[in-house]
Structure formats: structure tokens, C-alpha cells
């Protein structure tokens, strides 16, 4: 299944930085209604609730997972890493658990998880690939993108946002930019 973006309702979570704003701009320019918020669970729940009350459905979820610990592996605090990984998995999983049944009832949708930090992003990669396999039969495209992989920097947000729009329209499970 491929999805046209025009006339779709999209939620962008983690829209508090340049990448989120670029995604919102590109999806809006392609004709989607875009609703966005930061990653706080309370705001996400409220955002999804309001979107469903107003539009009765959500077709596209873009999940920008922002937490991470930078630095050499030997210098990373284990407890801080566990907390960041746990938060990232929860930030990705929670809205997916709410929206997958809604997308399934509408016979399709698209989810793009954006794992900005590569080490904790590997858990998001596994979650995304499992969801991709599980949801394919329901015409729900679940994709993953790693903006910092292969030397790309998050400040190249327009290029990354365009790639996300392309993923929504395709059946691809993973992209590296």
C-alpha cells in the first residue's frame, strides 16, 4: 500500500525543534492537516484525544524520539542511559498503541519513527521493524529513519523531512539519511 498525503490527518510528536517544524511544513504543503506537540506523555494523550474529537481519525503519525546521551561509550552513565532508553521506547510505543487500532479500523495509515540518537535508537529500530511486520497486513506502513546515521546532521532537517514524506508514500520499512 502506498499513501497519498493530501487530505490526511497527521500527528507529529517531538515537534519542538527544527526537524519537527520542517516535517509540519512539508506535510502541510502536501495537503495534510498537521497537529504537533512535544514528547510529554500528557500532551501526547491530550493531542491525540483532541485530534480524534475533531477529525475522528488520524492517518499519519510521525514520532521524533529526541532523548539521547552523547559521548564515548566508556563515559556514558549507565543509569542515565537506562532512563533515556526507557523514555525513548515509551515515547515511541505509547502513541503507536493508541493509533494502530484506529488506523486498522480505517484500513490503513502510516507511522514513521525518527530515532535521532543511534545507540538508544536501536531499540526504536527493533520496535519499528516488529510493528512493520505486524501492521503490514492492515495496510499500515511503519517506517524508521535515523537522521544522524551516515554522517547526516539534524540541522539538515529539510532533507530529512522530505525523506519522511517519501517514506509515508512508500512501503519501505527503513531509511538512513
Provide CATH code, domain 9-176: 3.40.50.720
Determine the pLDDT at residue 58: 93
Domain map (residue ranges) of the chain: 9-176
**pLDDT on residue 2:** 59
Q: What's the length of the chain?
A: 177
Write out pLDDT tens, residues 46-79: 889 999 999 999 999 998 886 667 678 888 888 9
Looking up cell 545507540 gives 119
Query: Can you state the angle between helices 118-135 and 78-105, rounded to 10 degrees?
Result: 20
pTM of the predicted model over 0.85: no
| Cell numbers found for residue 141 | 506502513
Query: What is the average per-residue pLDDT within 147-153?
Result: 51
Question: How confident is the model at residue 118, as a pLDDT?
Answer: 57
Residue 129 sits at the vertex; the CA angle it makes with 72 and 142, to the nearest 5 degrees, is 115
What rounded mean pLDDT belongs to the chain?
80
Residue 130's contacts (CB-CB under 8 Å, 6 or more residues apart) are: none
Mean pLDDT of 79-84: 85
Amino acid at each position: 500500500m502506498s499513501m497519498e498525503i493530501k487530505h490526511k490527518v497527521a500527528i507529529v510528536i517531538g515537534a519542538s525543534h527544527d526537524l519537527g517544524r520542517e516535517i509540519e511544513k512539508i506535510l502541510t504543503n502536501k495537503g495534510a492537516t498537521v497537529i504537533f506537540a512535544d514528547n510529554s506523555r500528557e500532551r501526547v494523550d491530550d493531542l491525540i484525544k483532541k485530534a480524534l474529537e475533531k477529525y475522528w481519525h488520524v492517518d499519519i503519525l510521525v514520532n521524533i524520539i529526541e532523548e539521547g546521551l552523547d559521548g564515548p561509550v566508556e563515559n556514558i552513565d549507565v543509569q542515565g542511559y537506562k532512563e533515556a532508553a526507557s523514555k525513548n521506547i515509551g515515547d515511541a510505543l505509547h502513541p503507536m498503541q493508541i493509533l494502530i487500532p484506529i488506523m486498522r479500523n480505517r484500513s490503513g495509515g502510516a507511522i514513521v519513527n525518527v530515532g535521532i540518537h543511534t545507540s538508544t535508537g536501536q531499540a526504536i529500530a527493533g520496535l519499528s521493524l516488529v510493528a512493520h511486520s505486524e501492521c503490514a497486513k492492515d495496510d499500515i506502513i511503519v517506517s524508521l529513519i535515523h537522521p544522524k546515521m551516515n554522517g547526516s546532521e539534524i540541522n539538515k532537517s529539510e532533507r530529512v523531512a522530505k525523506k519522511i514524506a517519501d517514506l509515508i508514500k512508500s512501503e519501505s520499512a527503513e531509511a538512513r539519511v
